[in-house]
Each structure stands twice: as C-alpha cells, then as structure tokens.
C-alpha cells in the first residue's frame, strides 16, 4: 500500500451509486484503474449488511495493495482489518471526541480521516490528530445535496495551511478537476463521476492522468 502522502486518487464503493452492480466487481475495477484508497460508504444500510460488504471487499483490496477505508463504522474496520476509518464532523466532534487517540480503532492500529468544511474545522481536525482531512464539498454534489459548496477558495487555503495529507472532495468531475488541481490540490476524492460511468477502471485512469505525479 502506498504511503498516504503519495496517494492521489481516492475513490468509493458507495451503495447509492452501484446501479445494481456487484460491489466486489466495482472495487476490483477501481483497483485496476489506479485507485490508491477506496472507501466503503453504505449510508442507511444495517450494520450487519455493511459488515458483510466490508468482509467481501477487504481481501480484494488487500491483494491489490489498495487501502480500504470504512466510513462511519470504526468497529467494522477493526473486525475486517481495514487500515482506515473515515468520520464526519457529526460522528467525531459532535459525538464528544476531542482526539483520535480516544477511539478504540485508533488504538487498534487504524488510521483516521475526518471531513472538514471550513478552515476552523480543518485546524481542529489536525489538532485532534487526524491522519488526513477531506476538504469540501468544493462544488455542489448530489452525494451531499444539502451541503454548501466551499469553492476552490478552501482548496487554496488548504494548500497554504495544511501540513498533513488532504483530499479535495465534492462535485469533482472531468470538467472541474483541472480547477481543483490549479487551486493546489494534489489528491482528490471522486464518487459519482466515476461510479456513474460504464467503465469504472477507464474513468479512474482519466482522473489519474489529470493529477500531479
């Protein structure tokens, strides 16, 4: 698995965008296309189903040397041996946590990513020991339709102020990716612009070609 600082393309197996496809096949295509990290996002599914999905994906990503990120379920990450957990502001700070070291999954060896939507949230996440932060949503996105876009201004701020690895996220597609890179992003998260294509691996390669080495 690549060092986090060398990870450029962070993709998703998001159950809202599978369109009837087998999640393991989608994960394999994401790996083939050059994903460095893949998050399992399964909003609204029972925990037992998320666990089942995680168990199916874990060996595929392990064999491909791609990091598996479990969204929202630290205990599932621990159970399947996933190296990464991603949490939103509401799942971390709003739940009363102040430092990632408080989380059992962190003590068990998982690394933690946190969502941030403004400079003050980002600074707080870094101080809380996050291993990486997500910067966004940069543009309007159907993945989180109620979230206010932070624009490339936040990307530029992250470029100048964030010393840990960070990923721009939200509404990034082949029409917007160049603006995000020009604003200073070296690493991006892409959800629907890859998962809504017929050839997931080819879509990943297109994005990789637009990212810095």
Angle between helices 23-32 and 47-64 (to 10 degrees): 30
Q: Render pLDDT for 80-129 as a digit per residue (tens, 0 to 9).
A: 999 999 999 999 999 999 999 999 999 999 999 999 999 999 999 999 99
Q: What does the DSSP 8-state code read for residue 170?
A: S
Helix (H) or strand (E) holding 50: helix 47-64
CATH code, 127 = 3.20.20.70
Q: Render pLDDT for 173-185 as a digit per residue (tens, 0 to 9).
A: 999 999 999 999 9
Instruction: Name, of 31-35, 141-145, 209-213, the range with top average pLDDT.
Output: 31-35
CA 34 to each of CA 56, 85, 165: distance values in angstroms, whole numbers, following the listed order: 20, 20, 19
pTM over 0.85: yes
Q: Please name the residue that has the structure tokens 């070291």.
A: 101
Termini Cα distance of the chain: 16
What pLDDT does 180 receive? 98
CA–CA gap between residue 82 and residue 75 (Å, rounded): 10
pLDDT-based confidence at residue 207 (cuts at 50, 70, 90): very high
Split into its structural domains, the chain has a count of: 1
Domain that holds residue 85: 4-209
Beta strands 84-87 and 67-71 are parallel
């Amino acid at each position: 698995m690549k060092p986090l600082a060398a990870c450029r393309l962070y993709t998703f197996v998001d159950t809202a965008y599978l369109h009837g496809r087998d999640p393991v096949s989608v994960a394999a295509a994401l790996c083939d296309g050059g994903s460095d990290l893949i998050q399992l996002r399964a909003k609204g599914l029972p925990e037992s189903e998320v666990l089942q999905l995680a168990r199916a994906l874990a060996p595929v990503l392990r064999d491909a040397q791609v990091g598996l990120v479990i969204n929202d379920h630290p205990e599932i990450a621990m159970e399947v041996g996933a190296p990464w957990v991603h949490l939103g502001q509401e799942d971390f700070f709003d739940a009363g946590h102040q430092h990632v070291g408080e989380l059992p999954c962190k003590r068990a060896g998982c690394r933690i990513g946190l969502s941030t939507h403004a400079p003050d949230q980002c600074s707080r996440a870094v101080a809380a020991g996050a291993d990486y932060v997500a910067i966004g949503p940069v543009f309007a996105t159907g993945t989180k339709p109620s979230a206010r876009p932070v624009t490339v201004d936040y990307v530029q701020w992250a470029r100048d102020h964030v010393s840990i690895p960070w990923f721009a996220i939200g509404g990034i597609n082949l029409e917007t990716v160049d603006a995000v890179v020009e604003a200073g992003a070296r690493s991006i998260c892409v959800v629907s612009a890859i998962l809504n294509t017929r050839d997931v691996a080819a879509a990943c390669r297109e994005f990789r070609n637009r990212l810095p080495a």
